Amino acid sequence: MRLAHTSGADPLASFTERYHELTKYNPHTIDKLGPVHWDRQPPAFKAISSKTKIDLLSRLQSVMDHLEKDETVPEGPEAGLENIARLLFFTLGLTARLSEPGGEDHFLRAAPSAGGLYPTEMYVAARNQSGLPDGIYHYHSLKSALIPVWQGAFWADLKHYFLGHPAVDASGLILIFTGLYGRSAWRYKERAYRRILLDTGHAVGNLLEVCRSAGLDHSLLGGFLDAGLEELLFLGAKEEFPLLGVAIGPGGSLPAVSGQYPGEHPAEAIRHALPSDAMQVQQNSCERIRNEKQLRPPVEGPCGGPAFTVPEGFNAFRTILGRRSCRKFNSKPIALDKVREALSYAFRPQGAPWCLTSGHLRFHLVALNVTGLMPGVFRIDPTTLELNLQRAGDFRTETYTMCLGQDLAEECAYAVVHSADLAALAGTYGDRGYRYACMDAGQLGERINLWAVHQALGSSGIGGYYDDQANELVDVPLTHGILYITLVGVPEE
């Protein structure tokens, strides 16, 4: 599908609003999206030609020994391969292999992915890391290895491409997340970009949780010159694209800087979108930052809800290893205090700001079977976590239908619906705000998922749903985009 520049379109409307509208699922049109050619699935792992690889598997042995003994994992070295191996593995490493008789092995990773397609890749920019020459590396999760892209000093380039962000100067380690259209688009068509952003947010959620457990600082680098990073990483802009950088350093080493740069004003950004490109490529094109001289100032604001102390019994490493998307709930209730715990953990501050947007996301809780809470739809205040009743009633059937008839949606105890006013989002951040908001929704979904595992509950992220029915259920106008749905319930034994 292509999105042409129509003369009747509102010239001030953001491309984000158009992209989101035209990638909605609708009961009357979803069967017209075209077949999925299962024999044409792209490779699940990226191949980079190199005679050199740096093994990380042996560097994980200490962590695995502690987990096998059910011991707390001690903080590792502040710099070096052991630290990097932990960060990468528990962010997006391979945690299980499923073998089918006569079939190919299917690998599961630390973060979930729609359809198990894993369109997110990671690169490592390193300097002054013991055991690792300065340079830029690709993380090959199948081999659990770093593959050199460049070796040498590239920090001046990184500082320029990340728009002089002070965390780049202070850090010796930057992880860069990228997305691949093809791995998702062959199945999800033009809606794939949404899922890529959510998947990346899930992986980032893991990374920041590991940083917290290891006592490391982090700083999110959402603003950068897209073409510069693409050139540095040898990416084809219409195939693989950078989404986020995360600077990492020892506790107390990174500056307390918050806020993300907006992209161009939507009326200017639309000039760079080529109608001949796929819609998701056009969306990414409108999000890009092209010239540091035309930057608007970073948007700063609140991030997170009330303080929440993660209990000593919570083991982030073990929880990530045990994390799986639940495939079957048993319809049993969950107590309200368990729901509040999950929300407190998910929305809590986490040292440096974890969110990319500032106050633009809205959240609703659809209570289907929560002991101590009447069935209905509640608005979640992300700063206080108060639940304000919007609509009373049993909406099990509506939730089931909205989620494309998936049994999980009527068997869960509650659902969290993530949304945003797309016009307001684009007015603040330009089209780049869509990227930020979807990754934020993925981060929150991952934290809900991790806490569910800790509580011996189940969770599953839903990226496929009838958009307008979701708007109707949570009673928000159609100008609000539904970005994600997170289901939580008691797993079937």
User: Could you tell me if 204 and 441 are in contact, meaning their C-beta atoms sit under 8 angstroms apart?
Assistant: no
What separation in angstroms does the CA of 270 have from each of 8, 19, 22, 227, 263? Answer: 15, 12, 16, 17, 11
E strands, 33-190, where?
54-55, 94-98, 106-109, 120-126, 135-140, 145-151, 173-180
**Letter for the amino acid at 478?**
L
Angle separating helix axes 192-214 and 279-287, nearest 10 degrees: 50
pLDDT band at 102 (very low <50, low <70, confident <90, very high): low
How far is residue 196's CA from residue 32's CA, in Å, rounded to a whole number? 22
- Averaged over 108-124, what is the pLDDT? 94
Asked whether this chain's domains 36-257 and 316-489 adopt the same fold, the reply is yes
Q: Which residues pair with 10 in a beta bridge?
A: none
pLDDT band at 260 (very low <50, low <70, confident <90, very high): very high
* Beta strand pairing call for 334-335 and 370-371: parallel
- Give tens-digit pLDDT for 232-243: 999 987 899 999
Please give the pLDDT value at position 149. 94
- Averaged over 128-154, what is the pLDDT? 94
Task: Return the HEC string of 395-457.
Answer: CHHHHHHHCCCCCHHHHCCEEEEEEEEHHHHHHHHCCHHHHHHHHHHHHHHHHHHHHHHHCCC
Average pLDDT, the chain: 92
Please give the pLDDT value at position 74. 65
Q: Which residues pair with 415 in a beta bridge?
A: 366, 487
Please give the pLDDT value at position 7. 32
For 421, phi and psi rounded to 5 degrees? -75, 105
User: Could you tell me if 171 and 248 are in contact, meaning their C-beta atoms sit under 8 angstroms apart?
Assistant: yes
List the single range of 8-12, 84-88, 409-413 with lowest mean pLDDT. Answer: 8-12
Does residue 167 surpass a pLDDT of 50? yes
Q: Please choose, from the candidates 422, 423, 431, the residue with its C-alpha nearest in 3D space to the C-alpha of residue 286.
A: 431
What separation in angstroms does the CA of 431 have from each of 6, 60, 88, 437? Answer: 19, 40, 29, 10
Does residue 281 surpass a pLDDT of 80? yes
pLDDT band at 79 (very low <50, low <70, confident <90, very high): low
| Alpha-helix runs per DSSP H in 291-429 | 316-322, 336-347, 396-402, 408-411, 422-429
User: Could you tell me if 445 and 438 are in contact, meaning their C-beta atoms sit under 8 angstroms apart?
Assistant: no
For 136, phi and psi rounded to 5 degrees? -125, 135
What residues contact residue 140 under an 8 Å CB cut-off, 6+ apart? 45, 46, 48, 53, 146, 147
List the single range of 43-52, 228-237, 243-252 with lowest mean pLDDT. Answer: 43-52
Which helix (DSSP H) or strand (DSSP E) does residue 468 occupy?
helix 467-474
* Beta strand pairing call for 94-98 and 414-421: unpaired
- Averaged over 54-67, what is the pLDDT? 86
Which of the given ranges, 11-15, 290-294, 391-395, has the highest pLDDT on average? Answer: 391-395
For 184, phi and psi rounded to 5 degrees? -105, -35
DSSP secondary structure code for residue 43 in this structure:
P
User: Could you tell me if 336 and 490 are in contact, meaning their C-beta atoms sit under 8 angstroms apart?
Assistant: no
- Give tens-digit pLDDT for 425-460: 999 999 999 999 999 999 999 999 999 999 999 999
- Give tens-digit pLDDT for 200-221: 999 999 999 999 988 999 999 9
Quote the radius of gyration of the chain (alpha carbons, Å).
Answer: 21
- CATH architecture, domain 316-489: 3-Layer(aba) Sandwich (3.40)
Q: Which residues pair with 147 in a beta bridge?
A: 138
For 212, phi and psi rounded to 5 degrees? -60, -45
Percent of the chain whose pLDDT exceeds 90: 76
Q: Which residues pair with 221 in a beta bridge?
A: 245
Percent of the chain whose pLDDT exceeds 70: 96
Please give the pLDDT value at position 9. 40
Angle at 313 between CA 308 and CA 316, to 5 degrees: 80
Please give the pLDDT value at position 161. 98
Please give the pLDDT value at position 67. 80
How far is residue 266's CA from residue 13's CA, in Å, rounded to a whole number? 7
Whether the full predicted model's pTM is greater than 0.75, yes or no, is: yes
- Give tens-digit pLDDT for 376-429: 999 999 999 999 999 999 999 999 999 999 999 999 999 999 999 999 999 999
pLDDT band at 12 (very low <50, low <70, confident <90, very high): very low
Please give the pLDDT value at position 301. 83
Angle separating helix axes 279-287 and 15-22, nearest 10 degrees: 150
How far is residue 284's CA from residue 241's CA, in Å, rounded to a whole number? 8
CATH number, domain 36-257, options 3.40.109.10, 2.40.50.140, 3.90.1150.110, 3.50.50.60: 3.40.109.10
Q: What is the distance of C-alpha 475 from the center of its chain?
A: 25
Domain ranges of the chain: 36-257, 316-489
Please give the pLDDT value at position 8. 37
Which of the given ranges, 290-299, 323-332, 425-434, has the highest pLDDT on average? Answer: 425-434
- Averaged over 336-352, what is the pLDDT? 94
Please give the pLDDT value at position 254. 95
More confident residue, 322 or 441: 441
- Only one residue has tokens 């009961």, namely 27
Which helix (DSSP H) or strand (DSSP E) does residue 247 occupy?
strand 240-250
Does residue 5 surpass a pLDDT of 50? no
